[in-house]
């Protein structure tokens, strides 16, 4: 149950911080990495870094344990590892280049769009 609370918290915080094109990919039973992978974009490296830091703080303060962040200070692609939920934050051009959504989309399991 806690992992869904964590997922909801992540989705809500990304929405609050005006992350763009938020996509959630359920991984439960398909990967031991995490239960959800969330991919979102920021308009600039500054916004990507700010979203990542705020998200990590929010997750930690809500009692979901330690969070690992990789990719700062460059902030083209920042990974926020919150355990059951792994968040990838990109600048739009970098996101297009790596196209993680396509790589992690499984048959029968299309990525779910987040809140608009």
pLDDT digits (tens, 9 = 90+) for 49-73: 999 999 999 999 999 988 999 999 8
pLDDT of residue 1: 46
> Confidence class of residue 43 from pLDDT cuts 50, 70 and 90?
very high
Query: Which domains are assigned to the chain?
Result: 2-107 (3.30.460.10)
pTM, two decimal places:
0.87
pLDDT of residue 73: 87
H/E run at residue 101 = helix 100-104
The span from the CA of 27 to the CA of 60, in Å, is: 22
């Amino acid at each position: 149950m806690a992992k869904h609370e964590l997922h909801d918290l992540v989705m809500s915080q990304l929405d609050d911080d005006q992350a763009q094109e938020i996509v959630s990919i359920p991984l439960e039973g398909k990967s031991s990495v995490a239960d959800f992978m969330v991919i979102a974009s920021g308009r600039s490296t500054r916004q990507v870094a700010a979203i990542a830091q705020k998200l990590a703080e929010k997750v930690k303060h809500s009692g979901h344990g330690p969070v690992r962040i990789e990719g700062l200070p460059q902030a083209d692609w920042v990974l926020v590892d919150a355990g059951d939920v792994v968040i990838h934050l990109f600048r739009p051009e970098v996101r297009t280049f790596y196209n993680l959504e396509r790589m992690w989309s499984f048959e029968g399991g299309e990525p779910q769009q987040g809140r608009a």
